[in-house]
Structure 1
């Protein structure tokens, strides 16, 4: 605050040359302009702490700012004198050309908002002691350069596409409700079912066949990509087809580059949820089998004591004469089964999971020349292409 709102000796002499009632307002405008590159339009634009610090330096009360009219002729004359005081000059044609080039080369690739770019423009003018045109005129310059940059970027993305990719994208927009149509590509992954997993797999395979130039996403700011993704996600296929061909393909290609990462994450979530479901069902089955085993040999401690007593009393007797009268073959088999059931629970669950997978084979068993329909059935026909790396 001290560096931003401190008055130099020259500033104090300049302010004190004016009437006492206008000194605080003049000082506020002077330091506000020196900090941001444009003038305040009302007292509310000036921070309270900075205003109090200025009033302390001038030996006046901070409340005197209320008597300064920021829209009066006096205030406008003060603004003109403030420009002369530190040596500012009006923007010339050469300055405008340099500013336009700087906006296109430095600000536009970042994808910042209009207001954020305007703040940088004012600071650029301030650092060069240039007093630019009105805020509205500078805003028109910024908007024009942003639009030119976006158009150039989209056309460049369209030019990087191969002829096969262009044909696939145009077919997707022409038939938006097909398996790889525009509407289907924007759909959510849904719940962890076989149909949804295969649907996401087909979408990923479609994007990978396009061979999109992903380096375009790193050459510009993320706000541009987010803006295009939101725009394409909110448009219908008919609205997309109204764009010029190059702009249309550029928008769709950049959207699919970002969509590929979203679909990959969705595929991972679906697979994790599927494995979790299989593990939960397998654990439930194993625990149920253990419970059945425990019920089948209820009272085994008493049986084991009786078997031990009979063995001690007749050590030379045969099993069928000594043991079986106390606990038959079925009882003894149940005890053995329960002992096996006390093995590692995780190992048994994993065994059941493998058995379930070998029976269902949700991702295997695809024969050459077969494809999966939207219902998850294997039918003869044209192959749908290789599985994405997420499933390999």
Structure 2
């Protein structure tokens, strides 16, 4: 069976490596009194060392040692220190292949470890099939599978088996999600969605491609183009429960697939998959378009506000000279009134016949207009 999922070397190493960090060694490879009791039943030093090493590797990462596998110095030193041995005592371990198998059988009997076969394998296959829908990536599902094997004390299979299991589970989960969405689509809606791949805009591009070509604009023409798309999408009577029970990352994945395909590629897909992608894209684009239209409106309003603010500031600068003249005239009239009062002259005569009176009235009118214009501009 071809492998649909391939972990990178880094990902595979992260799942199956022996720990070398001091914190991880303390957490996973610290031996209890019960462990030490079972280990001391082995007579020779190298067998005690090998038995302890196999026990630690079964616990974490949860696999068996490969023949001839190179053991990191940090691991051998840490285990040797607990056993009162040296790293060199490991060199003679498993000179007989039978010894390694006997120790592995004893560990399975004492600690309850089981191989990935029979009922245990069937249970884990059912578990990974359910878990695949919630997994966000190939690596995520493989990590969950490894953690479940450790929890159930199931010895990990080879990395190729893990990848194949994850690949099959992910493909099946994807098909179940697509079938779930497709079965919620009515025949009428299915027919309307099919038109997205057939109808064209201006005889150039299909509706499907046209609908996904949108971005935030900065003027009324862009806003109108966005509104045209939103109004078209609002014609589709999508069921309210279309995405019930569908994980958000699965919705995002279907949308991204739809945004990569052109109409010809979509037509070649299986029917349920094509309907699921079209329905998800229609729903997601409708929501995204509403957000883009709001942002476009904000940009247009912001631009108008900035333009009005610049106009207001310009008018204020132009009227500064008139304001200064008005204030100067106020000062002159005030001085004349105070002088007349000191001389005992009637104020009515000064106001009616004074040479600055006409100028004063003119400047007061200018000031009034300036105040009104400034108020209107700021409003």
TM, length-normalised to structure 1: 0.73
- Alpha-carbon deviation of 1:23? 5.1
The answer to whether the 8 A contact 1:293-1:338 is kept is yes
Matched with 2:15 is none
The answer to whether the 8 A contact 1:176-1:183 is kept is no
Of the candidates 259, 269, 274, which is equivalent to residue 248 of structure 1? 274
User: Which stretches of structure 1, 4 residues or more, deviate above 6 A after TM superposition?
Assistant: none
After TM superposition, list the pairs within 5 Å mapping 1:40-59 onto structure 2.
48=74, 53-59=78-84
Of the candidates 133, 137, 141, which is equivalent to residue 161 of structure 2? 137
Matched with 1:321 is 353
Matched with 1:169 is 193
Pair 69,222 (structure 1): closer, same or farther in 2 beyond 3 Å? farther
Matched with 1:365 is none
Matched with 2:304 is 278
Of the candidates 207, 222, 225, which is equivalent to residue 199 of structure 1? 225
Q: Which runs of 5+ in 1 are unaligned?
A: 352-392
Between the aligned partners of 1:183 and 1:120, the Cα distance in structure 2 is 38
Between the aligned partners of 1:37 and 1:253, the Cα distance in structure 2 is 43
Matched with 1:362 is none
Matched with 1:379 is none
- Alpha-carbon deviation of 1:230? 2.6
Q: Which runs of 5+ in 2 are unaligned?
A: 1-23, 341-345
Moved more, 209-218 or 272-281: 209-218
Matched with 1:293 is 319
Matched with 1:183 is 209
SS in 1 for 2:215: coil
Of the candidates 175, 193, 197, which is equivalent to residue 151 of structure 1? 175
Q: Which has the larger radius of gyration?
A: 2
Between the aligned partners of 2:73 and 2:347, the Cα distance in structure 1 is 102
Pair 324,265 (structure 1): closer, same or farther in 2 beyond 3 Å? same
- 2:256 pairs with 1:268: no
Aligned length: 343
Matched with 2:122 is 97
The answer to whether the 8 A contact 1:204-1:260 is kept is yes
Between the aligned partners of 2:43 and 2:231, the Cα distance in structure 1 is 74
| Aligned Cα root-mean-square deviation (Å) | 3.6
Of the candidates 367, 374, 377, which is equivalent to residue 335 of structure 1? 367
- Alpha-carbon deviation of 1:91? 4.1
- 2:265 pairs with 1:239: yes
